Structure 1
Amino acid sequence: MTSVAPVRTGTGKAELPMVVRQLRWEAAGVVSVELSAADGRELPPWRPGAHLELVLPTGISRQYSLCGSPEDRSAYRIGVLRERNSRGGSEYVHAFLRPGQPVRVRGPLDNFGFGPARAYLFVAGGIGITPILPMVRDAERRGVPWQLVYGGRAAESMAFLGELRAYGDRVRLYPADRGGRIPLAEWLGAPRPGTEIYVCGPERLLAAVEEGAAHWGPGAVHAERFKARAKPARPNTEIEVVCARSDRTVTVPADRSVLSALEEEGLPVTGSCREGICGTCETRVIEGVPDHRDDILSGEDRTSGKVMYPCVSRALGTRLVLDV
């Protein structure tokens, strides 16, 4: 995960009424969706790496990385892959979403903090190109050296190639049907002082990059996950959560998450992914030591214990005081 404190833009919780401005095919199975405010107002700012939570008319909500330009405050752009085993989100976007249709969003929220570096190596797999694309543009704008390696199942399924071709040989494409996967051993073999790696894609790619770049030193790899990593089972115990702003105390049973217990008591908390990857439920810790089980915080952030994600995280002791 990122080694710098994530930059949060927007609340990540308030809903903004929006309307679909445009849909466009970006590759086989990938459509980009442009969204503008329903009342035409300027949209909240965001930084490369940020994502939105899209709330569809069916009530289903899903998180999608922003892949447009932060300078364009008139619209947000997301890229949506039509998932073979969709639970209703991507299928609805592809089959039913049309220009002029109202939707709601929460965010932007940034857990994939794009920090300064002397140079960048970007690694993208499949739809993982979406948060990387604004980072490439930002590095180019600032004149910072960068290289992108981008893999996919087939060239026709790799999105935004038209935009990326403008960068010439700084972009290396690795469609699996034309020569295999990204040769990570070649790209990660020799550490490059001052170069930071940003990677997004399927878990096997993230794990391979993190393992392959372990000798680059701590904090060199910044990864964003679409799904939570498999983790060893950890026993839960009953804990007490004091909600300081609400002046309430809630007992969280061993078989319930902190988030669900607070929701059941009608307290002002919001969750989405329930897996510790989206950041929607970020909560400030006032007292106590969190047992972090998310896939967002860096080692430094975990040690500080200032925030936690109650959808998955608990307490190392028996009591937490939260800013709720």
Structure 2
Amino acid sequence: MVPMFKTNAPQDLEELEERLSCPSAALVNEMAQIEGDILFLGAGGKLGPSITRMAKRATDEAGVSRRIIAVSRFSNQAAREQLNACGVETVAADLMSSEQLSALPDAANVIFMAGHKFGIANNPSSTWAMNSYLPGRVMERYSDSRIAAFSTGCVYGLSPLTQGGAIESDPLLPTDEYSMSCIGRERMVEHFSKVNQTPATILRLNYAVEMRYGVLVDIASAVFTDQPIDLTMGYCNVIWQGDANAMALRSLALADTPAFAINLVGPELLSVRRIADSFAQIFGKEVRFTGTESPECLLTNGNLCQQVFGYPQVPVQAVIEWTAEWIRSGGQTLNKPTGFQVRDGKY
């Protein structure tokens, strides 16, 4: 097995993809214990390709025979072909179609990743349909499966910095339609987990980062191009996407009835100002700031996550240095800002 953490930055897309999909020893051990196929719903998003490849690699290294199946619309045919080349089965389907959802393969394990965030201000009904209605349909369709459903730390709303981030037992306090629709997702998972005795985990992710996308890319790109950094959302959480992938797959073993919720997050509460200063020092730039740090931010506490899964294998300082080198060398990005500065849910 190739170690997940190397000190040098990924040099190209091939090496980046290799690292994002490299399974940890703990994951390989758990993949040997979990029975049945694994089905990924909404596998065409930012995490989907790397987590499905990781599941395939971990399964092979565990010496287990199982199907790894990725479901997406697959508007990008090249992405589908790349997954097929890795031994991942792919199914093109619209999950909002009752007929297509019903026709999907059965699987003992389901990773539910579909959701809608950006553009909610212009199309809120579509967001509610994807984030609240669809999860209920999936829970009914796969009532005999073990399910890990991605959610978001946005369900907690803003929390005081002095609190150290929201913990799993804190009340969910939505402040906008996006966070309300995500609570709708969680409530559907919880409801059908109880009614049908379907084991489930709810993964409140906040935020996964890699070289092409994420909070660190947003900040690094702004510093590199001499754009000001808004400090109003002055603190954040991040976690290397490869670590988030491994933890999400390992969470299948935690699935329970009623559904078990856990923050999928790194251990640190990070200062946006300090992150920007780090990039400015690496780039040899002067960084400009606007606004002042609010005492309340979108923050989650990772204590339970680290107790269950251990600390991330890739430390955040390494990701900062890798991101700086990637941006400075003109590495490809997805050109999709995260909107982590948004405080009103209007993404």
- TM tier, smaller: 0.3 to 0.5
TM-score (norm 1): 0.36
Greater share of residues in strand: 1
Asked which structure has the greater RCO (Cα within 8 Å, sep 6+), the reply is 2
Greater share of residues in helix: 2
TM-score (norm 2): 0.34
